[in-house]
Amino acid sequence: MGNTDNTSSVQHKGRVEKVDPGSVTVKIVSGAACSGCHAEGYCSLAGNVEKNVLVKGSYDVLPGETVTVTMKQSMGYNAVAIGYIIPFILLISGLIIFISLSISEALAGLLSIAILIPYYLVIYICRRRIDKKFTFTIKK
């Protein structure tokens, strides 16, 4: 499902749920990364997750139609950085700093987690600007 082609894009097949003026809602079923594993039927981590993606723009599609939703691969890397890498670096850096200040480990852990509150608050405040950078397109 999440294949990449020569144009460095991530593509997912989906079904058109709703067509509005200026946008299309597509339901994508994301398979688990371990779907090829022989223990998939027994593992609690395996399974499919349905996601609705809002694709801005006007497209000649109808509800129920199967389409391919495309996003530049670089945008996926940006999403991973914003959602995982930066918070991880903040958390570990805070933990190291607080422990080096001779604060108890429990308090250092709590303060490290508290560092993430302003980070996610900034992300929330800048959500419209971030949303403009992450664009999807539809291919039939």
Tell me: the pLDDT tens digits for 34-79?
555 554 555 544 456 788 888 988 898 999 999 998 888 888 888 8
Residue 122: per-residue pLDDT: 95
pLDDT at 109 over 90: yes
Residue with tokens 């039927």: 41
pLDDT at 7 over 50: yes
Q: Is 62 left (phi over 0), alpha (psi -120 to 50) or beta?
A: beta
Q: For residues 11 and 1, what is the distance between their CA atoms, to the nearest angstrom?
A: 7
Asked whether 105 and 99 are in contact (CB, 8 A), the reply is yes
Q: For residues 5 and 42, what is the distance between their CA atoms, to the nearest angstrom?
A: 32
Residue 74: per-residue pLDDT: 84
Which stretch of 4-13, 19-28, 30-39, 102-111 has the lowest confidence by average pLDDT?
Answer: 30-39
